[in-house]
């Protein structure tokens, strides 16, 4: 049961991250290509179209950089499950070390619940790393693939929201433009469970005013979501905050993801809190790759 909850939570998390990345690039499809950033002064707030165009231009450049694979860093994860009275029922913690292999970010587990890995767990990590170095891609379950497809955000889904630049705020000492988004109406199409959640999501996005990178995103459910008429369950609360930081000159990476989820699954009420933090970013120089595809 716990693994199922974590899996579902991470699928919603993945959906949220996809939303963050694709919002402006998909909107560019409405207005056409914008190859160069539009000049915007801090004195006058940009329109959402101007802001989106600048983010799209930055995103196009960012996709050529493979930024995550240029850094090593550590990441901690914590998952807590509470009962209906707020009592902690289960807690899982882990620590990873991230580094690139063949130009692809790789996460190696080094600690579970405050303890070093067992010999068996360490052997499993050795095998995963060896497979990655041999060029094998990690296998994904059919369920995970299905969830990824369900949480792909399209023009149709983004058209359900309204967007508005509301002003400027400082995030970690840097000026950002704040974008507010909300469902366009209470009567939006519902084709699957994903639509039920997406139709009731509102939030804010903070865009760095200098680099046009996402600095922060926070979103929440505007009202509870019932699953199959409330028989299977009810999602009463879902709040998530994503923070990204300028870790080096021109390089932005996620630093914190934090979310709370509460509701009912069948007859059981529970709350789940998940948090992950990345730190100690160090830029590295990838080794040159030979014509055979091997590091020299």
pLDDT at 57: 86
The domain tally of the chain equals 1
In a domain, 287, yes or no: no
In a domain, 261, yes or no: yes
In a domain, 46, yes or no: yes
In a domain, 11, yes or no: yes
Q: Which residues pair with 289 in a beta bridge?
A: 295
Q: What is the mean pLDDT of the chain?
A: 79
In a domain, 127, yes or no: no
Structural domain containing residue 212: 2-64+141-280
pLDDT at 249: 79
In a domain, 83, yes or no: no
pLDDT at 197: 84
Whole-prediction pTM:
0.78
pLDDT digits (tens, 9 = 90+) for 254-281: 999 999 999 988 778 899 999 999 999 9
pLDDT at 154: 60
In a domain, 78, yes or no: no
pLDDT at 41: 54
In a domain, 19, yes or no: yes
CA–CA separation, 133 and 125 (whole Å) = 12
CA–CA separation, 173 and 168 (whole Å) = 12
pLDDT by residue, tens only, the chain of 296 residues: 334 434 444 444 444 444 443 443 333 333 333 334 445 555 678 888 888 888 888 888 888 888 899 999 999 999 999 998 899 999 999 999 999 998 889 999 999 999 999 999 999 999 999 999 998 877 666 665 665 565 555 667 678 889 999 999 999 999 999 999 999 988 888 877 778 888 899 999 999 999 999 999 999 999 988 876 655 688 889 999 999 999 987 899 999 999 999 998 877 889 999 999 999 999 986 544 433 334 43
Long-range contacts of 28-34 (CB under 8 A, 24+ apart): 28/52, 28/53, 28/56, 29/155, 30/155
pLDDT at 148: 57
DSSP states of 138-195: PP--HHHHHHHHHT---HHHHTTEEEEEEEEEEETTEEEEEEEEEES-S----SSHHH
pLDDT at 153: 52
Look at residue 253 and give its three-state secondary structure: strand
């Amino acid at each position: 049961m716990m693994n199922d909850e974590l899996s579902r939570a991470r699928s919603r998390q993945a959906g949220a991250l996809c939303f963050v990345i694709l919002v402006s690039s998909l909107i560019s499809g409405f207005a056409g290509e914008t190859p160069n950033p539009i000049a915007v002064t801090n004195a006058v707030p940009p329109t959402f179209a101007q802001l989106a165009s600048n983010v799209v231009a930055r995103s196009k450049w960012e996709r050529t950089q493979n930024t995550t694979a240029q850094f090593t860093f550590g990441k901690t994860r914590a998952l807590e499950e509470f009962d209906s009275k707020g009592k902690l029922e289960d807690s899982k913690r882990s620590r990873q070390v991230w580094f690139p292999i063949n130009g692809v970010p790789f996460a190696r587990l080094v600690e579970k619940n405050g303890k070093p890995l067992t010999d068996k767990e360490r052997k499993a990590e050795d095998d995963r790393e060896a497979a990655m170095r041999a060029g094998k891609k990690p296998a994904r379950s059919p369920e995970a693939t299905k969830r990824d497809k369900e949480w792909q955000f399209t023009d149709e889904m983004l058209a359900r929201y309204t967007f508005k630049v509301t002003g400027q705020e400082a995030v970690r000492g840097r000026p950002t433009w704040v974008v507010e988004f909300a469902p366009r109406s209470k009567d939006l199409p519902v084709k699957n469970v994903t639509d039920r959640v997406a139709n009731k999501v509102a939030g804010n996005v903070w865009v760095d005013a200098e680099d046009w990178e996402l600095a922060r995103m926070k979103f929440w459910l505007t009202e509870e979501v019932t699953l199959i008429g409330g028989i299977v369950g009810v999602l009463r609360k879902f709040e998530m905050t994503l923070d990204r930081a300028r870790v080096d000159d021109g390089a932005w990476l996620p630093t914190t993801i934090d979310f709370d989820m509460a509701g009912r699954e069948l007859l059981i009420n529970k709350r789940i809190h998940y948090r992950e933090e990345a730190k100690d970013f160090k830029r590295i120089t990838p080794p040159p790759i030979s014509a055979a595809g091997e590091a020299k």
